[in-house]
Amino acid sequence: MNTGGVHAHELLSRIAHLSLEHGRAQIVSTVAVVAGVVVMLAASRSARAPILRAAAVAVPVTAVIGAAVWARYRPLPNQIPPAGYARIWLAVGTLVLAATILLRKPGVRLAAAVGTAGAVVAAAAVGQVNAEVGVFPTVGSLVGHRAPTVVEPVSFGDVPGFESAVQAGTPMDSVWTRPVRTPGSGVVTEVEIPGTESGFPARPAVLYLPPAYLTSPRAVLPVMVMIAGQPGRPQDWFSSGRLGSTVDAYAARHDGLAPVVVVVDALGAQDANPLCLDSALGNAATYVARDVPAWIENSLQVSHDPAQWAIGGFSYGGTCSIQLAVNYPAIYPTFLDFLGQDEPSLGDHAGTVAATFAGDERAFAAVNPVDVLRTRQFPELTGVFVAGAADDEYRPQQQRMFAAARAAGLNVRYYELPGGHEGATWGAALEGEMDWTGRQLGLTG
């Protein structure tokens, strides 16, 4: 037996699964920036005075240019906390310093030292952004190794179509008899859900179909519509959020029964931010509240009872979930808000209202969930707010939304999980809420 090969494989596997989100990743990025500064200053000590004079000019100029770029394009996601921005700007300032050193004192050795240090600093800055948004949750994901969803994705055309014989009832587990040929796990497939009414340019959605949907006679199952964060894509729920394995494990515990999960695109592009509103930024609300349900009801053999439908998401998707629940309560009476905000935001309130409704505060308030909750009671709505205990940016916002929802008569819960604004937290939130969701949607008694 080749024990060396086994040990090497285990080592590579451990490295591939090292987290790049929060905690140690942030510490490493900060240390890398500081080390880069020390290396560059040490490498250029003979010309330190003129370099620092040049940097004293270059850094403020860069700050002004950066502020202008931020005001116009907002290139970084909103969920990065102040400490994260501080690390990023420290890294940017260090890169400016590196450029200044090379311009003031060229040389092969100096260029090698400063260039290497600058590359480390740049990687640290990128790592800081990734630690907050979770695009690459692990080291392995940098080279395309993603956590398995459930099974290899299948074509939607290979999914069994509508059948005349079905099993239906509430709770579903009280009438369900698992057919002999029911598969052992669910499947994942991508589908195009057109913006027929909204005109919204959505990217493909990702479906999870449980074993009870894939058999005959199939169960008529409830529906979960889920939304990822910003920046992001539907697949993020299956990588950093582990949705596929979580729901499939739930199905394994319940004889193949689980909700049909439709993870939709509420952005339109990786870096777009339409805020789940119908506004100048696009008709994202109509897309998720009208086009998506219409497609599901016409394309999937599932329950049409709104009491068996839920809307949920993390970060941007969490904010969307409470927005859509209070603005479309007849469609989504159950919601799961993981790590969301207390209002749709592009970074500041005035800028958000200007970009969405040309500065019309009343138009914004008419759909802003916290404002809607102040004017109406919603005893028919049920939901949960989950925050990360270390998420200093979003945790207070979740607490405010919970208080507003409870005051408006909603049946809601709030709790915190260990961790920050990261996939490990919202993945754990989904795993912890599956049993409650199954009962709430009439899947189990």
- For the segment 345-393, what is each residue's pLDDT rounded down to a tens digit? 999 999 999 999 999 999 999 999 999 999 999 999 999 999 999 999 9
> How far is CA 14 from each of CA 28, 123, 311, 340, rounded to the nearest angstrom?
18, 21, 35, 31
Closest by Cα among 112, 80, 88 to 33: 88
Mean pLDDT across 315-330 = 98
- Residue 127 CA to residue 60 CA, distance in Å, equals 24
The C-alpha atoms of residue 247 and residue 186 are separated, in whole angstroms, by 9
Integer Cα distance of 246 and 437 in angstroms = 13
| 407 token code pair | 């005051």
* 8 Å CB contact between 104 and 98: no
Beta-carbon contacts of residue 62 (< 8 Å; ≥ 6 apart): 92, 93, 96
Q: What is the mean pLDDT of the chain?
A: 84
Residues of the chain within CATH 3.40.50.1820 domain(s) are 149-440
Lowest mean pLDDT among 69-83, 87-101, 409-423, 426-440: 69-83
User: How high is the pLDDT of residue 149?
Assistant: 45
User: What residue has token string 């409650």?
Assistant: 436
Work out whether the CA dihedral 116, 117, 122, 128 comes out positive or negative.
positive
Q: Give me the residue label for tokens 């599901």.
A: 296
Residue 310, H or E segment: strand 309-314
- Fold of the domain built from segment(s) 149-440: Rossmann fold (3.40.50)
Distance CA 279, CA 283 (A): 6
Q: Nearest Cα to 246, choosing from 424, 444, 436, 434?
A: 434
DSSP sequence for 355-384: HHHTT-HHHHHTT-HHHHHHH---TT-EEE
The pTM of this model reads 0.77
pLDDT tens per residue across span 219-256: 999 999 999 999 999 999 998 899 999 999 999 999 99
As to burial, measured by CB atoms within 10 angstroms (0-12 exposed, 13-18 middle, 19+ buried), residue 71 is exposed
Backbone angles phi, psi at 74, to 5 degrees: 45, 65
> Are the C-beta atoms of residues 40 and 98 closer than 8 Å to each other?
yes
Strand 278-279 relative to strand 282-283: parallel, antiparallel, unpaired?
A: antiparallel
Burial (CB count within 10 angstroms: exposed 0-12, middle 13-18, buried 19+), residue 419: buried
pLDDT at 33 over 90: no
The pLDDT of 324-350, averaged and rounded, is 97
**167, containing H or E segment:** strand 166-167
CA distance 313 to 405: 17
Residues 96, 55: contact at Cβ < 8 Å? yes
Amino acid at site 121: V
Q: How would residue 344 be classed by pLDDT, with cut points 50, 70 and 90?
A: very high
What pairs with residue 263 in β-bridges? 206, 226
**How far, in Å, are 4, 128, 409, 444 from residue 77 at the CA level?**
44, 12, 33, 39
Given a cut of 80, whether residue 9 has pLDDT beyond it is: no
CA 4 to chain CA mean position, Å: 39
Yes or no: say if 442 and 308 are a contact pair by the CB < 8 Å rule.
Answer: yes
Q: Give the integer Cα–Cα distance in Å for 31 and 331.
A: 49
pLDDT at 148: 47
Backbone angles phi, psi at 276, to 5 degrees: 55, 35
Please say whether the beta carbons of 234 and 272 come within 8 A: no
